[in-house]
């Protein structure tokens, strides 16, 4: 099985399947096609294959012409028909891994995609999980479901885990030039998975097991979460001392070794940093291990929207106004600058907290003209981006979009609460938060 798969990869007759055509899966699919492989994308959302068939994008930073070009090669297909998994020699799975209502890992997407594979498995395939998850998911969750097909791991199919490191809209790093960690359940599986990724990626990093690969991804995200919590804590402390934390960071980062800058903000956002650390916390409990750093970082980071709301009240107070009944404009709904991704965005928490205290809240975001349906923030669905005008009592900069960095706030006379340190001059009071 190993030599046959390696040979197919070498002569590019290897057919790649990608399950889950979102922020991670779609670039993977495109990159394989661009490298000359036949690739089939699978998604349960019927709209995604329709868009792709028309050569159109549904993710802002992936341009339509890249999709149209890939479709024109005749090597790319996207479908809801999972029976076509039979055609694939390798299947990469990039489905969501959120937390459930109790903030525990929600495995339903991984489980349902593995279950969708089972009826269409054949001998001689490799299945690689890409979703961020706790150590043990590949061999404890995915493999037992796949073996319900009657096929046996290592004898009939291989399993591997390779975490995704996409940084959406980063001009310097994309699928092809970010080194990729790869772990498998056997040396043969590793040889195949490693070779498969080596076709599209500048450098693969083979590790001894799927668990090491799963853990490496969690370490990367926990590292960010803990360091962001640290600067958020320092922000609050320094503010009380009359010291600007952003200026402190700029000074500290001139140290050419042993320091890496992290920046404070209104809270964590995105699909990874607010969620992944708790995958480890949950799993560690099974082994009687505590993860105090992770819990503490989570506590500090989730308290940030409350801190910002307090700063809003202080800013309005300076203008002699109560929060209740004040008109507030939130600048930026996306969780990070210059993208349209609003998953886990802390702006939603500001929106809720300010509205719940009686403020009349609107948002502005050039990347999100209308708020689409989301799993958690249904009450905001359908609201539309409001232009930046002077008839608000308060403006809150929540996302560091470039358009705000270059915006002339001199005409804005109401107070501005700036959580991103980007407002240099305004017509009124600027309060950092």
Ligand X SMILES: NC(=O)c1ccc[n+]([C@@H]2O[C@H](COP(=O)([O-])OP(=O)(O)OC[C@H]3O[C@@H](n4cnc5c(N)ncnc54)[C@H](O)[C@@H]3O)[C@@H](O)[C@H]2O)c1
Please give the residue ranges that form the binding site for ligand X (CB under 6 A): 19-25, 42-45, 48, 94-97, 109, 112-113, 116, 130-132, 164, 166, 168, 271-272
> Which residue do the tokens 């979703």 mark?
131
Position with the least CB separation from ligand X:
22
Instruction: Report helix, strand or coil for 145.
Output: helix
Q: Tell me whether residue 17 is exposed, middle or buried, using C-beta atoms within 10 angstroms of its C-beta: 0 to 12, 13 to 18, 19 or more.
A: buried
Choice between 112 and 413, CB closer to ligand X: 112
Q: Smallest gap, in angstroms, from Cβ of residue 69 to ligand X?
A: 21
Choice between 97 and 326, CB closer to ligand X: 97
Instruction: Report helix, strand or coil for 266.
Output: coil
Q: Smallest gap, in angstroms, from Cβ of residue 115 to ligand X?
A: 8
Q: Smallest gap, in angstroms, from Cβ of residue 113 to ligand X?
A: 4
Query: For 4, phi and psi rounded to 5 degrees?
Result: -65, -45
Instruction: Tell how strand 180-184 and strand 157-161 pair up.
Output: antiparallel
* Among candidate residues 226, 1, 223, 19, the one with its CA nearest the CA of residue 120: 19
- Within 10 Å of residue 127's Cβ, how many Cβ atoms? 28
Instruction: Tell how strand 327-331 and strand 157-161 pair up.
Output: unpaired
Choice between 131 and 185, CB closer to ligand X: 131
CA distance 198 to 201: 5
Choice between 22 and 90, CB closer to ligand X: 22
Choice between 14 and 109, CB closer to ligand X: 109
Sequence-ordered list of residues with C-beta below 8 angstroms from that of 368, at least 6 positions apart, any chain: 333, 334, 340, 342, 385
Choice between 178 and 388, CB closer to ligand X: 178
Q: Smallest gap, in angstroms, from Cβ of residue 374 to ligand X?
A: 11
Choice between 164 and 393, CB closer to ligand X: 164
Instruction: Tell how strand 394-397 and strand 327-331 pair up.
Output: parallel
CA distance 377 to 398: 17
Known catalytic residues are 272
Q: Smallest gap, in angstroms, from Cβ of residue 221 to ligand X?
A: 8
CA distance 137 to 276: 13
* Among candidate residues 148, 131, 34, the one with its CA nearest the CA of residue 92: 131
CA distance 98 to 410: 41
Residue 251 half-sphere exposure toward CB, CA atoms < 13 A: 6
Instruction: Report helix, strand or coil for 79.
Output: strand
Structure tokens at 180: 């990729």
Q: Smallest gap, in angstroms, from Cβ of residue 23 to ligand X?
A: 4
How distant, in Å, are the alpha carbons of 38, 77, 199, 229 from that of 73?
Answer: 9, 10, 18, 46
Choice between 188 and 340, CB closer to ligand X: 340
Structure tokens at 48: 């995604």
CA distance 330 to 25: 31
Q: Smallest gap, in angstroms, from Cβ of residue 197 to ligand X?
A: 15
Q: Smallest gap, in angstroms, from Cβ of residue 344 to ligand X?
A: 11
Look up residue 384 and give its DSSP letter. B
């Amino acid at each position: 099985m190993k030599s046959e798969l390696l040979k197919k990869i070498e002569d590019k007759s290897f057919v790649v399947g990608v399950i889950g055509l979102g922020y991670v899966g779609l670039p993977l699919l495109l990159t394989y096609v661009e490298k000359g492989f036949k690739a089939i994308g699978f998604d349960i959302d019927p709209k995604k294959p329709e868009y792709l068939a028309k050569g159109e994008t549904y993710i802002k930073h992936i341009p339509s012409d890249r999709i149209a070009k890939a479709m024109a090669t005749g090597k790319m297909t996207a479908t809801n028909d999972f029976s076509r998994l039979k055609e694939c020699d390798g299947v990469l799975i990039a489905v969501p891994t959120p937390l459930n209502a109790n903030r525990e890992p929600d495995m339903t997407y991984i489980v349902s995609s593995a279950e969708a594979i089972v009826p269409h498995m054949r001998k001689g395939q490799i299945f690689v999980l890409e979703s961020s998850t706790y150590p043990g998911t590949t061999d404890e969750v995915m493999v037992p479901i796949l073996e319900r097909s009657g096929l046996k791991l290592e004898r009939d199919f291989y399993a591997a885990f390779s975490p995704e490191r996409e940084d959406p809209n980063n001009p310097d790093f994309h699928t092809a030039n970010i080194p990729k960690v790869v772990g498998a359940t056997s040396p043969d599986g590793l040889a195949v998975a490693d070779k498969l990724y080596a076709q599209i990626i500048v450098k693969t990093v083979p590790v001894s097991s799927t668990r090491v690969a799963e853990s490496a991804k969690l370490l990367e995200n926990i590292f960010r979460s803990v360091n962001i919590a640290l600067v958020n804590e320092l922000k609050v402390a320094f503010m009380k001392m009359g010291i600007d934390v952003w200026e402190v960071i700029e000074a500290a980062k001139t140290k050419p070794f042993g320091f890496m800058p992290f920046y404070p903000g209104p809270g964590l956002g995105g699909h990874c940093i607010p969620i992944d650390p708790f995958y480890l916390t949950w799993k560690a409990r099974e082994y009687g291990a505590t993860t105090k750093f992770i819990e503490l970082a989570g506590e500090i980071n989730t308290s940030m929207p409350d801190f910002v709301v307090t700063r809003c009240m202080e800013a309005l107070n300076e203008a002699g106004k109560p929060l209740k009944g004040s008109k507030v404009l939130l600048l930026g709904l996306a969780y990070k600058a210059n993208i349209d991704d609003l998953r886990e965005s802390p702006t939603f928490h500001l929106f809720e907290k300010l509205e719940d205290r009686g403020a009349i809240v609107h948002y502005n975001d050039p990347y999100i003209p209308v708020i689409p349906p989301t799993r958690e923030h249904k009450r905001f669905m359908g609201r539309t981006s409001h232009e930046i005008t002077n008839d608000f009592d308060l403006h809150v900069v929540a996302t560091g979009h470039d358009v705000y960095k270059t915006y002339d706030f001199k005409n804005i006379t109401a107070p501005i609460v700036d959580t991103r340190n980007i407002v240099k001059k305004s017509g009124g009071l600027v309060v950092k938060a």
